Amino acid sequence: MTEHQSHQFERGTDGPKVIVVGCDGSDSSLRAAAYAAGLARRQRALLAVVYVQPVMTAGAALGAPVAGTTDEVAESLIREIREAAERVRHIYDNVRWEFHTFRGDPYNGLVEAADQLKADAVVVGASEQAGHRLVGSVAVRLVKAGRWPVTVVP
């Protein structure tokens, strides 16, 4: 092994150092965030909570201020996450966490987030939509991407 190779770090070999969790305010995503927080605490990893703001076409919005609406959702989520973190602060004292917002569809937004944040692991809640059993949920698509270990929390 050359000197250069001995100092290279392979993501994931020492356990996750950055854990990305997708959170959209649904019950399953909040359970995923709680699970990811416990994992981050045990691994001494950074927890990156990611909300992917949907991007709607102008036709779908019908003149509604969509950007403002999704910004309000993001701000509401941040408040909700902070309040939840405050309630369980004694449990998760040692968890370093950040909140990030990306725009797009949930799958591509989480892929972009995981790439930009150099995620070692991705945690998502199980889809609560029945149609995803046929088309494929975000979780299934992330697993099939094969780029990070993916944990799906029911």
What confidence tens digit (pLDDT) does each residue in 27-38 have?
888 889 889 998
pLDDT band of residue 40 (cuts 50, 70, 90) is: very high
pLDDT > 70 fraction of the chain, expressed in percent and rounded? 67
Q: What is the mean pLDDT of residues 134-152?
A: 84
Secondary-structure breakdown of the chain: helix, strand, coil percentages, each rounded to the nearest 5: 45, 20, 35
Structure tokens at 66: 């969509």
Please give the torsion angle defined by the CA atoms of residues 107, 28, 117 and 83, in that order, rounded to the nearest 10 degrees.
140
- Could you give the residue ranges of the DSSP H alpha helices within 2-137? 3-6, 27-43, 58-61, 66-87, 106-116, 132-135
- Using one digit for the tens of pLDDT, what is the confidence trace for 65-100? 555 566 777 777 777 766 766 665 666 667 888 888
d(CA 59, CA 32): 33
pTM (whole model) above 0.85? no
Q: Phi and psi (nearest 5°) for 46?
A: -80, 130
